[in-house]
Amino acid sequence: MNHVIDESVLNLKGIGKETAEHLAELGIYTIKDLIWTFPYRHEDFRLKDLAETPHNERVTIEARVESEPTVQFLGRNKSRLQVKVLAGRHLVKVVFFNQNYLRTKLTLGEIVTISGKWDRGRQVINGTTIKFGPKLDNADFEPVYSLKGNLQQNKFRKIMRQALDLVGEDLYEPLPFELLEQYKLLSIVDALEGVHFPKDANHAKQARRRFVYEELLDFQLRIQALRKAHRENEKGISIQYDLQRIRQFISTIPFDLTNAQKRVVNEICKDLKEPTRMNRLLQGDVGSGKTIVAAISLYAAVTAGFQGALMAPTEILAEQHAHSLNSWLEPMGVNIALLSGSTKTKERKLLLDQLHKGEIDILIGTHALIQPEVVFHNLGLVITDEQHRFGVEQRRVLRDKGVNPDVLFMTATPIPRTLAITAFGEMDVSIIDELPAGRKQIETHWLKKDQLNAVIAKMEQELRQGRQAYVICPLIEESEKLDVQNAVEVYEQLDLIYKGKYKVDLMHGRLHPDDKDRVMREFTEGKIDVLVSTTVVEVGVNVPNASFMMIYDADRFGLAQLHQLRGRVGRGEFQSYCVLLADPKTDDGKERMMSMTETNDGFKLAEKDLELRGPGDFFGKKQSGLPDFKMADLVHDYRTLEVARQDAVKLINDDEFWKHEDYKYLREKLEESGALNGDRID
Ligand code: ADP
Ligand code: MG
């Protein structure tokens, strides 16, 4: 069937070659493209009472002209026209710049509708538009589009009006009647009208509500279809672990697992045993004890005769994991190896050979693990720590190394639920929502930089009691070199202050791997008292005796990262402290500092971070895995997201959805997306 919407925009009146080119620049070729180009806001022409209008806000008033207009000429083509008008009880001045022709049009006693910016202090409106006569009923909102070049808003509005009129009712309705009914959503025709030319505020709101739902439903259908496809098509391996041996291992661990740890271990083990491929996200706040969960899971795979891999984002962390896992699992007869960038060629060759032969049970490393020459004998389980630092591509490569190994992603950056079900919606999620018993809340203080001496005194007090401290140096935008320079300076200062009393040392990304090794080992062993460092210690480093952290220029960090950093202390039995040294210049910065002092709860901070920075920045600039929504906003539309998700789960698992005529258009969109073939949507 030939629909009007598939026709070229050239069929509309008033579109010549030039306009068509402008439209093409915006990606608009057909009438469909055009009407799905939504305005980014509406000019609000609703009448307002001046008494209730805040300073500097746009306002539209209906008023009576109370004075002859006067015009002042301010040089070439510049003029200032001023007139007094009475709006309700307010006698105010209205000023128009460079519109002196209005002088002859404004007559005393006439009613006019004026829009402009309200200068409350001076009781003046800086007029932008004026219409003669009282305000028209249906002229509350005018759409404002994001346009390019010489294309004028007014022209574009006219084209849009024409297109919508032409299309009329000739549009298919992608949402089934049942859902429209259930949520009282506007029809597609009404909603399009409401998006572009709303009758009133409610119309605009309802139109938006419909499109937000539709967009999120489409998205969740894709995610859920993907999940289903993974479950059904990807044959994984069934890891028949030895429960007896796992239990025995758990009994040798020097602490009792928390209930949350036990729960997630069970969830993971269930997945391991099943023949489908595990695709699970393990979330747990800093210090919640994810490493031991990883160790148990890897051991489970080993008891079934499989190899395991543990991938960490930094060498320091990989080394530390190797150390922890060795101390726990070596007594169980597990052979663990560390592959890092600094592994010597000869040693490396030997190691790879052993790995290939299956003599190594668990391989730990950074992304060195995903190089082509690393070949496993029979990889059964891959765990990546702090997975948000890995790109989608790296995750895929590692997965492809084995015959569909089970995959567990661990993250200490609590991900707000809205983001989790969008970015990781096709995964199962386990959450460790409990800290080991006896942990004390980390006391966090925010001090100004001129209070540095007090901070150093407090640090010394901790050192005197045998504790250790971290001093984190500011992050200098995108420049590791400057970060290092900064850390070196801070280190030299502190070393001077503490000379002969405490051992201060330095850690940063540019140290020779051997030196990094030494510093980390000595800090772990308590031979170094104060560790000055860049953010390389951010992730995962575990030194329970460290009870004090000072973060220079803390406002340069995002909340998620600050929380990560802070998580380096408070990991043992001692009361710990975190001092944020910062003179933030923005409100946002101040709010972040306040939030840090108010809560230790990573999930709360994550929500706050999302609110302050928006979803795009939450995961950092690189791979967010988040789709670009036209209408939906993950921060504000989280309730709708939740509803759309539940609906999508229901639909995907319902035979009716795959057969019935009502769902035809939703199915078509799903097919186009590629999700049915297992393609990820980002
Ligand atoms: P994270 O989840 O941040 O990676 P870790 O796995 O590094 O946390 O654990 C933090 C510290 O808590 C480590 O010293 C670890 O040995 C210890 N730990 C883990 N689980 C428990 C527990 N159930 N009881 C006591 N200490 C624990
Ligand atoms: Mg960790």
Q: What is the pLDDT of residue 352?
A: 95
Distance from Cα 83 to the centre of ligand 2, integer Å:
68
Strand 58-65, strand 79-87: pairing: antiparallel
Looking at residue 49, its amino acid is D
Q: Which of 296-310, 393-407, 509-523 has the highest mean pLDDT?
A: 296-310
Instruction: Write the DSSP string, 607-657.
Output: HHHHHHH-HHHHT-SS---PPPPSS--TTT-HHHHHHHHHHHHHHHT-HHH
258 in ligand 1 pocket by Cβ < 6 Å?
yes
287 in ligand 1 pocket by Cβ < 6 Å?
yes
Residues 6+ apart with CB under 8 A from 251: none
If you average pLDDT over residues 648-672, what whole number do you get? Answer: 91
Q: What is the pLDDT of residue 621?
A: 39
67 compared with 45, residue with greater pLDDT: 67
Task: In whole angstroms, give the CA distance from residue 672 to residue 682.
Answer: 14
Confidence of residue 126 (pLDDT cuts 50, 70, 90): very high
* Res. 280: pLDDT tops 60: yes
Specify the ligand 1 atom closest to the Cα of 293. Answer: 6
Domains, the chain, with CATH or none: 1-40+146-171 (1.10.150), 46-138 (2.40.50.140), 172-306+378-439+604-610+621-681 (3.40.50.300), 442-599 (3.40.50.300)
* Torsion 624-625-627-632 (CA) sign: negative
Tell me which ligand sits closest to the C-alpha of residue 284. 1
* Res. 369: pLDDT tops 90: no
**Contact call for residues 531 and 468 (beta carbons, < 8 A):** yes
Best residue among 542, 566, 603 to mutate for probing ligand 1's pocket (most ligand atoms within 8 Å of CB) is 542
Helices within 234-306 (DSSP H only): 243-252, 259-273, 290-303
Where b means 16+ CB within 10 Å and e means fewer, 640-665 reads bbebbbebbbebbeeeebeeeebbee
Distance from Cα 8 to the centre of ligand 1, integer Å:
63
Q: What are 40's two structure tokens?
A: 């980014």
pLDDT tens digits, 547-576: 999 999 999 888 888 988 899 998 888 999
Q: Which of 168-172, 245-249, 569-573 has the highest mean pLDDT?
A: 245-249
pLDDT tens digits, 581-634: 999 989 889 999 999 999 988 888 888 887 877 665 555 433 345 667 888 877
Specify the ligand 1 atom closest to the Cα of 432. Answer: 2
Best residue among 571, 574, 600, 603 to mutate for probing ligand 1's pocket (most ligand atoms within 8 Å of CB) is 571
Specify the ligand 1 atom closest to the Cα of 257. Answer: 23
Q: What is the pLDDT of residue 630?
A: 84
Give 615's Cβ-side CA count (13 Å radius): 21
Q: What is the pLDDT of residue 622?
A: 38
Tell me which ligand sits closest to the C-alpha of residue 261. 1
If you average pLDDT over residues 499-527, what whole number do you get? Answer: 88
540 in ligand 1 pocket by Cβ < 6 Å?
yes
Distance from Cα 345 to the centre of ligand 2, integer Å:
29
**Contact call for residues 479 and 509 (beta carbons, < 8 A):** no
Least confident of 71-80, 179-188, 653-662, 670-679: 670-679
Distance from Cα 386 to the centre of ligand 2, integer Å:
7
Task: In whole angstroms, give the CA distance from residue 559 to residue 327.
Answer: 33
* pTM given for the model: 0.67
444 in ligand 1 pocket by Cβ < 6 Å?
no
pLDDT tens digits, 200-246: 889 999 999 999 999 999 988 988 888 887 777 667 789 999 999 99
* Res. 332: pLDDT tops 90: yes
Residues 6+ apart with CB under 8 A from 368: 339, 340, 341, 343, 374
Helices within 131-242 (DSSP H only): 153-167, 177-183, 188-196, 201-233
Specify the ligand 1 atom closest to the Cα of 261. Answer: 23
If you average pLDDT over residues 243-263, what whole number do you get? Answer: 96
Residues 6+ apart with CB under 8 A from 105: 132
* Res. 263: pLDDT tops 60: yes
* Res. 80: pLDDT tops 80: yes
Residue nearest to atom 20 of ligand 1 (CA): 289
564 in ligand 1 pocket by Cβ < 6 Å?
no
Task: In whole angstroms, give the CA distance from residue 343 to residue 319.
Answer: 12
**Contact call for residues 287 and 435 (beta carbons, < 8 A):** yes
Q: What is the pLDDT of residue 682?
A: 41
Looking at residue 584, its amino acid is P
If you average pLDDT over residues 26-30, what whole number do you get? Answer: 92
Tell me which ligand sits closest to the C-alpha of residue 314. 2
Distance from Cα 587 to the centre of ligand 2, integer Å:
32
Q: What is the pLDDT of residue 680?
A: 52
56 compared with 483, residue with greater pLDDT: 56
Cα-based distances in Å from 604 to 285, 413, 416, 428:
11, 11, 8, 21
321 in ligand 1 pocket by Cβ < 6 Å?
no
Distance from Cα 517 to the centre of ligand 2, integer Å:
18
pLDDT averaged over every residue in the chain: 87
Rg (CA), the chain: 32
Task: In whole angstroms, give the CA distance from residue 472 to residue 569.
Answer: 12
pLDDT tens digits, 416-433: 766 776 666 777 888 898
pLDDT tens digits, 30-62: 999 999 999 988 888 888 888 888 999 889 999
If you average pLDDT over residues 264-274, what whole number do you get? Answer: 95
261 in ligand 1 pocket by Cβ < 6 Å?
yes
Let me know how long the chain is.
Answer: 682
The residues whose Cβ lies within 5 A of ligand 2, an ion, are 540
Task: In whole angstroms, give the CA distance from residue 307 to residue 537.
Answer: 29
Task: In whole angstroms, give the CA distance from residue 561 to residue 570.
Answer: 16
* Torsion 288-292-298-304 (CA) sign: negative
Residue nearest to atom 24 of ligand 1 (CA): 436
Phi-psi region of 381 (alpha: psi -120 to 50; beta: other; left: phi over 0): beta
572 in ligand 1 pocket by Cβ < 6 Å?
no
pLDDT tens digits, 143-152: 999 988 888 8
**Contact call for residues 395 and 365 (beta carbons, < 8 A):** no
Confidence of residue 290 (pLDDT cuts 50, 70, 90): very high
Specify the ligand 1 atom closest to the Cα of 292. Answer: 6
Instruction: Write the DSSP string, 351-408.
Output: HHHHHHHT--SEEEESGGGGSTT---SSEEEEEEESGGGS-HHHHHHHHTTSSS-EEE
Best residue among 288, 432, 564, 565 to mutate for probing ligand 1's pocket (most ligand atoms within 8 Å of CB) is 288
176 in ligand 1 pocket by Cβ < 6 Å?
no
